[in-house]
Amino acid sequence: MNEKKKSVFFDKRDENYINLSSPIYFLEMFTKKKIKCDIIIPQTIIVSKGTATLWIFNSKASPTPLILKKNSNKLNFVEICRVLCRVKQNEDFRIDTLTTLLDIIKAGKNEITAFARISKTKKSITKIDLVKMFLDGNVSGLQILQEHLENSSKADELFYVEYRQDVINLPVSYRFFKKSTQKQIIQQPLPKKLSQLHIQQQTQHSDSYDESNKNDQVEYVDCMFKFFDNQMNQTLSKIIKKLVDFLEKAYRIRVKKLVAKFMQNDQQLIYFLGLKELLVDFHENAPYEIQSMKNELKDNNSFENFLILIKMFTRIRDKKPMKIPQTIYEDDKEISQKLYKNLIVQRCVGDFCDYIMEEKNRGPLQIRKNIVTDYRKFFGNKKMNEEKFSVTLPHEISFQLILRTRECSQEVIEVLMKNKIFTRNSKHHFQEFDKINTDEEYPFKFNKTEVYNLPNLYKTVKICKNCFVVYSLASKYFDQRLSNDLQQKQWFKRDSSSLAQQPTSMNTSHQQLSQLEKSNIKRNDSRIRQNQNQSLQKIKTQTSNNAEKEQNENRVRKIQSAKQFRVIQSANSQAPKTFKLFMPNQQQQLENTKINSQSSKTNNIDINRLTMGFLNYTKPPKPNKIQSAKMTTGGLQSQRSQMESQHLKRSDSQSNQFQRNRINKSQRQINSNKISFFQGKLRVIEVPQIQYTLLDVCQLHDLEYPPESVPDIYLESVNYFCFQQCAIPYLIIQNQEEVQELNKDNQSGLDLTEKDHQIVIFLADFFDNSFEYLDVMQQNIKPNTTILLMNLPGQAYTVFDQNTIQDNLDICLLLDSLLFELCEKDIIKNNDIYKFIGYGYGGFQVLSYMTHIQNNLPKIGGLLIINGFCEIDDMLTDTLKKSKEVFQTCPNDMPELGFHFWNSLIQSHEEKQDPRYNPISLNGRLHIINGLMKSQNVWNSCVMEIPIKLYHGLKDCVVNIKQAHLIKNCSSSCNSCEMNLINFGHKLQNLEELLFEFL
């Protein structure tokens, strides 16, 4: 204990944790294969039992430490001495032995080349001593060798950093020390006999040189004192944070305290020399496991022993005890049989597993759109669960269809080429159909077309999704061909009946045949064929004549109907105006019914029993002519009454209004596919004629261009969206590697598999600039993600009307309109996964938008709310009123006063950020405050089943912690909302940590 008390780093709290030790300064922690840490270390060789086991070093390409182990050829004493002594390998004269290396070193200077730890003592070694040590074999007590580095200071300064975190909620504490060597003079006492003589000499020769200094000795002593260089301390704390994150992630421990050792070389690079102390705790193990581990570590608390123990305990913990039932019931047997059947993996019997389609969302893929809706319509949700339905999605077809596609392979190949369906590894371009070799491209036609066991023809087999698309196309083609054959047979029957009605011609033909039989008993085959051809030509001429007759009859009917229509139109001209209004509407309704019938033919696909085994339902009978006539007359009468009421309301002078209403009605029919997420109905966005750019807005507000927060690469990609007398900038970020891959795929046309795409929408805090978070988003973006950054009205680089007040409902409309426009431009899609990130004020706007969309978004991946709130309580109103008074008193020419006031109000530490990165005006701050004060609370109406990750900071937060509990209680299920309390630092650092988990 006395030795520990002498140490600067000793603390009584250390007794509660597990204290680990390592003779090689814990450098063996870098031996993890999958998880790495970017820290610069010197050349380090770890030796055990006289053999080198590890060689840890940094490469020139990356700062990540590389490791050579026993199996590598370079891990030998010759190579180690050559690298540490800095002797380059010569092509002409190769160094293979230690004796040759010693001769080369003796020719040069003998300098200190390494530091060694030999039997618990530190020692500096020169070049010649290092080679001699390996030559003589004095390596028994050697534990570690480290490369000698030139220190930047003459006093050989070393830096020590103490990291401590006792409680998770409390902030991390750092202590910084510096160790340097200083001169210290030790005075030796003289003997008693010479003491009096020495005093006399000193009095006599007081002005002369003091000869007593010759007896003194100079000694270099290591001194430890606190270090107060802020810049150096910040860089060291960043390295420590990296190291702690690496240890906690790699070894699943919680670091409570560590003391790290650093050195700065002459090139101003900071090297990590190892750990002096390491105290850990566990956050996954049970308390009894921790106690048993402490008992095991009492005898041997080395880091190697600790790694062995933690592996052992994790293996024991992962094993779950098996519960054997005491009694087995009959129900359990049935359940086990069902589970065993579901576990059987079935093989696809189809021939088109490796075939894909070039054009997506067209052709046969439309068949899969309305599968779920048709299933629910005819069966409902009670008989089969949705999960089970997704597993047994139409993968069953008849085996006859597979054999028929093989028999009619040539026709099926034409259908596949028409729909641009090829194999994944196709060697041909999709557009050059003439050069395609069908034998190589479509090998399914060589498969067998016969079945030895005939009952297998009537069985259903399982197929995959790709095969289902192809077989549905083939069955559709076969059905169409069958219907064409039936029509031709009907024509043939009609022709034969017309021939039967001509007895004279038939009798004459029979007489001729009888005469021919009598005269010519032996007839040739050629004459028979000529007679057959003549009879077929007669049948063809008769069928053509019948077709012409039917066409003439149809023309006569059309002429008669046109005459009748003219008579009705003339009668309507003499009828009153109320009846005259009905005619054009009736004609419009007939056109609409035609259009609807055509669209229903394309949308409502007749599902064949061969392709979809589970939809074996009977279709409802079609209505009779009398019923359809009643329905149409009822609809016509109701429309006539509506038109009469409209005609009575308006006067004759306003007759143009009726035409305008009809034009608007047609425009609504055209835009019927455009549906907004927010209102759930038709919304036509009126885009103003004025279009802004970032340069225009900077010139309008007298700001610097290009701005500091936006890099030069993204200047052209910043767009503006205009809505209700305001314009906001937005920026869309995508993964550059993904864009390059997409361009390659579009050029090659091979990778056509659908991927789930997610869209992340970020809304910043009160007076923040969302473009400040651009670097953080770009670093943490993942493939198949698109990030939308935008500034709300009042924030930086926005144009707004100072006289209007925009509450949360107006901002929801603005956000919805922006998403609506991006959806029209095909930048985003309705089927994408949407994720929202809201920081403070942005979190309030995200929650209000979620309450108003009314489940119109099909896929919501989740919400990330940081320091959010769902109501404007007294605490928030007081801070907003005080800040509003300050902003009103500040002059308009000095917006930096408001910037520094708000930072001093919400942040506990001094803000080092420049106001140029966030050039928000004072009017913009007042606009945001006025809009928020008029906004409605959303805690009563934000009940939703959306996964929410909720984070609330214990410092640097304007909002009370009560708001986080309100948001959590408002969510419909407790499992969907995850609440965390974190001791936040700077905002950019917080978002970088949370984005990694959320995305």
Does 191 have pLDDT greater than 60? Answer: no
The average confidence (pLDDT) of the chain is: 71
Amino acid identity at 231: Q
Name which of 902, 924, 921 is nearest 913 in CA terms.
Answer: 902
**Does CATH number 3.40.50.1820 belong to domain 694-748+757-998?**
yes
Enter the DSSP assignment of 360.
Answer: T
Phi, then psi, of 137 in degrees rounded to 5: 85, 25
Report CA-CA distances (Å) from 820 to 233, 486, 806, 850.
49, 49, 20, 15
> Could you tell me if 958 and 840 are in contact, meaning their C-beta atoms sit under 8 angstroms apart?
yes
Question: Binning pLDDT at 50, 70 and 90, where does residue 157 land?
Answer: confident
Assess contact for 409 and 623: CB atoms under 8 A.
no
What are the residues whose beta carbons fall under 8 Å from the beta carbon of 633, sequence distance 6 or more? none
Query: What CATH number is given for 158-189+215-317 in this structure?
Result: 3.30.470
Q: Give the model confidence (pLDDT) of 329-381 as tens digits.
A: 555 556 566 555 555 556 778 888 888 776 544 444 444 444 445 544 544 44
pLDDT of 763 higher than 90 = yes
pLDDT in tens, 165-183: 887 767 788 899 888 876 5
Mean pLDDT of 33-53: 85
Classify 850 as helix, strand or coil. Answer: helix
The domains of the chain are located at 43-147, 158-189+215-317, 342-485, 694-748+757-998
DSSP 247: H
- Highest mean pLDDT pick, 398-412, 748-762, 899-913: 398-412
The beta strand positions in 190-338, using DSSP E, are 217-226, 254-264, 270-281
Helix (H) or strand (E) holding 837: strand 833-839
Dist. CA 703–CA 860, nearest whole Å? 38
pLDDT 10s digits, 574-600:
433 333 333 333 344 444 444 444 444
Alpha carbon separation from 364 to 403, 410, 420, 469 (Å, rounded): 21, 19, 11, 6
- pTM of this prediction? 0.38
Average pLDDT over residues 690-694: 79
* Residue indicated by tokens 């960043």: 238
Residue type, 695: L
DSSP characters for 104-143? HHHHS---EEEEEEETTEEEEEEHHHHHHHHHHT--SSEE
Q: Which pLDDT tens digit goes with each residue over 415-440?
A: 888 877 888 777 655 555 556 778 88
Contact by Cβ (8 Å): 356, 466: yes
**The pairing of beta strand 460-462 with beta strand 396-398:** antiparallel
**Contact (CB, 8 A) for 764 and 839:** yes
Please name the amino acid found at residue 513.
L
How far is Cα 181 from Cα 222, in angstroms, rounded to an integer? 5
Distance CA 108, CA 127 (A): 10
Q: What is the largest CA-CA distance in the chain?
A: 176
The whole-number average pLDDT for the span 18-28 is: 87
Q: How many CB atoms lie within 10 A of CB 173?
A: 11
Amino acid at 731: L
> Do 158-189+215-317 and 694-748+757-998 fold alike per CATH?
no
Q: Residue with structure tokens 């990540």? A: 64
Sequence-distant (6+) residues with CB within 8 A of 930 are: 805
Under 8 Å between Cβ of 458 and 401:
no
Amino acid at residue number 532: Q
| pLDDT given at position 592 | 46
**Tokens 């009726």 -> residue:** 658
Q: Please give the pLDDT value at position 676.
A: 53
Residue 547: enclosing H or E segment and its boundaries?
A: helix 525-574
For residue range 772-816, list pLDDT tens digits in order. Answer: 888 888 888 888 889 999 999 999 999 998 888 899 889 988 998
**797 close to 707: Cβ distance less than 8 angstroms:** yes
What average pLDDT does range 889-918 have in this prediction?
A: 75
pLDDT tens string 904-926: 777 755 555 667 788 888 999 99
Quick one: average pLDDT of 486-510? 54
Tell me if residue 153 falls in helix, strand or coil.
Answer: coil
